[in-house]
């Protein structure tokens, strides 16, 4: 397996002294890009893991216990879309895709597979660090919210299990990405009220969200499809054209 931790003496000392700091996994086959990301992440206080192939990245994502994954799409062996799909099959670890694929369809595919954010190459390393910080803040807020609220939230045939970040419809568990889970939780909390995209961004993605309205729409659309597949008789999510969305339980 080809992967590397930070190897310089000074970096090793930092990691030994700060075992409680967050860790980031970089899955990138371009050595110069990986080195640049690794440098800025280490300077920002993160422990760093790295892999150069999709299979190695998947192994580290599932067994190396990273707090967040920075995932390239164009990888040898197993490409980034397959890596993302396999990670999402068993893990809620946040994923930011970092890629040169500029087509909107590629970005939407990444979000559809469960990525939490999407950064295009060439990118500002400082902006990438900010994106990582933002995604982890949202993850932390989710964890704190679960601790402060009851373990199960229900709306009609839908149950949300906050303690294990799972959801079921009519007793059958449905497969949600972390973003879809946050969306569903928010919609249920706002049940019966029309919420705008701006309110969704504020409550689900956070003020530091750097995406677009289309990104929000894509996540909502994916959530709606999963709910309707699970219970075709009920249309919970309604689009209020020109305004936003409304969830009816």
Q: For the chain, 249 residues long, give each residue's pLDDT as a single digit of tens.
A: 433 344 443 343 343 333 358 999 999 999 999 999 999 999 999 999 999 999 999 999 999 999 999 999 889 989 998 999 899 877 889 999 988 876 666 667 777 777 888 888 888 999 999 999 988 988 777 666 655 555 777 788 888 887 777 888 988 888 888 888 888 988 988 888 898 888 888 888 765 565 556 778 888 888 999 998 888 888 888 888 888 899 987
Q: Are 244 and 216 in contact (CB under 8 A)?
A: no
**Residue with structure tokens 């009519």?**
170
Q: How many CB atoms lie within 10 A of CB 82?
A: 16
- Topology of domain 3-142 in CATH is Rossmann fold (3.40.50)
Q: Are 249 and 155 in contact (CB under 8 A)?
A: yes
Q: How large is the C-alpha radius of gyration of the chain?
A: 19
What CATH class is the domain 149-247?
A: mainly alpha
Strands (E), 162-205: 166-169, 172-174, 194-196
CA angle 223/229/234 to nearest 5° reads: 85
Give phi and psi for 226, each to the nearest 5. -65, -40
- Domain residue limits, the chain: 3-142, 149-247
Q: How far apart are CA 173 and CA 196, in angstroms?
A: 28
Q: Do 3-142 and 149-247 come out as alike in CATH topology?
A: no
Q: Are 5 and 49 in contact (CB under 8 A)?
A: yes
Give phi and psi for 248, each to the nearest 5. -115, 125
Q: Going by C-beta distance under 8 Å and a sequence separation of 6 or more, which residues neighbour residue 218? A: 108, 111, 112
């Amino acid at each position: 397996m080809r992967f590397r931790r930070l190897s310089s003496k000074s970096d090793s000392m930092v990691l030994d002294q700060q075992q409680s700091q967050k860790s980031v996994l970089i899955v990138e086959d371009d050595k110069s890009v990986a080195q640049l990301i690794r440098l800025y992440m280490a300077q920002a206080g993160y422990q760093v893991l790295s892999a150069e192939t999709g299979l190695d990245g998947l192994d580290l994502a599932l067994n190396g216990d990273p707090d967040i994954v920075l995932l390239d799409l164009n990888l040898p062996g197993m490409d980034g879309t397959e890596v993302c799909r396999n990670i999402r099959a068993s893990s809620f670890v946040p994923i930011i895709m970092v890629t040169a694929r500029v087509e909107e369809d590629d970005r939407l595919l990444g979000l559809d597979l469960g990525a939490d954010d999407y950064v295009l190459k060439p990118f500002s390393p400082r902006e990438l660090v900010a994106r990582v910080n933002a995604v982890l803040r949202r993850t932390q807020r989710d964890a704190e919210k679960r601790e402060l609220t009851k373990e199960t939230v229900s709306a009609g045939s839908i149950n949300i299990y906050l303690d294990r970040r799972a959801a079921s419809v009519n007793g059958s568990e449905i497969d949600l990405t972390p973003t879809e889970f946050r969306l569903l939780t928010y919609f249920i909390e706002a049940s019966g009220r029309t919420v705008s995209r701006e309110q969704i961004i504020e409550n689900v993605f956070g003020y530091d969200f750097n995406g677009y309205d289309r990104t929000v729409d894509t996540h909502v659309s994916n959530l709606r499809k999963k709910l309707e597949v699970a219970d075709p008789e009920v249309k919970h999510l309604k689009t209020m054209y020109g305004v936003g969305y409304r969830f009816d339980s």
